[in-house]
Amino acid sequence: MMGFASPALLLIGISVAVPLILHLLQRQQGPRVVFPALRYLRRAEKENARRIKLRQILLMALRMAALVLLALAAARPFVRSGGAGHEPTAVAIVLDNSLSTGVIHGERRLFDELQERALETLAQARPEDRFWLIRAGAPWEPATPGTAEEIAEQVRRTNVTAGESDLGAALTRARSLLAAGAEGRRTEIHLLTDLQGTAFRGATEPGAGAPPVVVWAPKGQAPENAAITAVEVGGGLPPRAGERATVSAFVTGSRGGDTIPVRLAIADRIVGAASAPSGSAVLLPFPARSPGVISGWVELDPDALRGDDRRYFVTRVQPPPAVALGERVPFVDEALDETEDLPVAALGDDAEEFEIEFLAHQAEDLAHVGGGYPALPREGEDLVQERERIAHPALGAAGDGDQGVVVDFDPLAVEDLAQTFDDARQGDATEVETLAAREDRRSGLLDLLRLGGREDEDHPRGRLLQDLEERIPRLAGQHVRLVDDVDLEAVRIRRGVHRALAEVARVVYAPVGCGIDLDDIERGPPGPDALTRLAHAARLAVGCTVGAVQRHGEDPGGGGLPHPARAAKEVGVRDPAARHGTLQGLGDVLLECDLAKAARPVEPGEGGAGHRRPCASCDTRASFSGQVNPWPRPVQADRPAGPIPVPWR
Partner 1 sequence: MTGITTHATDRANRPDLLSPRELAALGGLELVARQVVEGFLAGLHRSPHRGFSVEFAEHRAYQPGDDLRYVDWRMYGRSDRYYIKQFEEETNLRAYLLLDASASMAWSSRPGELPTKLWYAKQLAMSLALLLLRQGDSVGMIGFDESIRTHVAPRGGRRYWHELLRAIGPVEATGRTEAATALRDIAGRLQRRGLVVLFSDLLVDPETTSLALKFLRHRGHEVLVFHLLDPGERELPGVSDARFVDPETGEELPVSVADLRREYHEAVERAIAEWRESLAAQGIDYVVIGTDQPMVHALRAYLNKRERLG
Binding site for partner 1 (CB under 8 A): 26-45, 47-48, 52, 55-56
Helix axes 49-75, 17-25, angle to 10 degrees: 150
Smallest gap from Cβ 50 to partner 1, in A, equals: 12
Helix (H, G, I), strand (E, B) or coil at 89: strand
Q: Which is nearer to partner 1, 58 or 637 (CB)?
A: 58
Q: What is the DSSP letter of 185?
A: S
Q: What is the DSSP track for 243-257?
A: --EEEEEEEEE--SS
Q: How far is the CB of 49 from partner 1 (least distance, A)?
A: 10
Smallest distance from partner 1 to CB 23, Å: 10
CB of 15 to partner 1, least distance (A): 20
Closer residue to partner 1, CB minimum distance, 43 or 523: 43
Quote the CA–CA distance of 443 and 434 in Å, as a whole number: 18
Q: Which of 640, 638, 639, 595 is nearest to 618 (CA)?
A: 595
Q: Which of 573, 554, 430, 561 is nearest to 491 (CA)?
A: 430
- Whichever of 25 and 395 has its CB closer to partner 1, that residue is 25
**Nearest-CA neighbor of 215 among 191, 188, 198?**
191
Nearer Cβ to partner 1, position 2 or 21? Answer: 21
Smallest distance from partner 1 to CB 108, Å: 55
Longest dimension (CA), the chain: 146
What is the nearest approach in angstroms of partner 1 to the Cβ of residue 20? 15
Cβ at position 36, least distance to partner 1 in Å = 4
Q: Looking at beta carbons only, is 35 or 209 nearer to partner 1?
A: 35
Give CA–CA dist 63/18, Å, rounded: 9
Question: Which residue, 48 or 229, is less far from partner 1 as judged by CB?
Answer: 48
Q: Which of 207, 211, 5, 210 is nearest to 90 (CA)?
A: 211
| Eight-state DSSP code of residue 137 | T
Residue number, 39 or 425, with CB nearest to partner 1: 39
CB of 21 to partner 1, least distance (A): 14
Rounded to a whole number of angstroms, the minimum distance from the CB of residue 19 to partner 1 is 13
How far apart CA 405 and CA 369 sit, in angstroms, is 8
- Judged by beta carbon, residue 52 or residue 344, the one nearer partner 1 is 52
Write the CB contacts of 604 (distance below 8 Å, at least 6 apart in sequence). Answer: 380
Which residues 6+ apart lie within 8 Å of 458 measured at CB? 433, 435, 627
Whole-number Å distance between alpha carbons of 619 and 597: 15
Q: Give all strands (DSSP E) within 80-145, no chain letters.
A: 89-95, 104-105, 108-109, 130-135
CB-CB contact of 496 with 470 (8 Å): no
Least Å from the CB of residue 32 to partner 1: 5
Least separation in angstroms between residue 29's CB and partner 1 is 7
Locate the DSSP E strands across 254-329.
259-266, 269-277, 280-286, 292-300, 310-317
Helix (H) or strand (E) holding 227: strand 226-233
Q: Which is nearer to partner 1, 11 or 49 (CB)?
A: 49
Is the Cβ of residue 2 or residue 37 nearer to partner 1 in the bound state?
37
Helix, strand, or coil (residue 489): coil
Residue 571 to residue 579: CA distance in whole angstroms:
17
Q: How far apart are CA 371 and CA 379, in angstroms?
A: 19
> Is the CB of residue 93 less than 8 Å from the CB of residue 121?
yes
Q: Which helix (H) or strand (E) holds 214?
A: strand 213-216
Q: Judged by CB, which is closer to partner 1: 47, or 183?
A: 47
CA distance to 16, 21, 66, 75, 183, per residue, from 11 (Å): 10, 17, 14, 9, 41
Residue 236 CB burial class (10 angstroms; 0-12, 13-18, ≥19): exposed
Would you say 39 or 569 has its CB closer to partner 1?
Answer: 39
Beta carbon nearer to partner 1, 27 or 569: 27
* Pairing outcome for strands 516-518 and 310-317: parallel
The distance of closest approach from Cβ of residue 109 to partner 1 in the complex, given in angstroms and rounded to an integer, is 57
Comparing CB distances to partner 1, the nearer of 8 and 62 is 62
Minimum Å distance from CB 31 to partner 1? 5
Smallest distance, Å, CB 27 to partner 1? 4
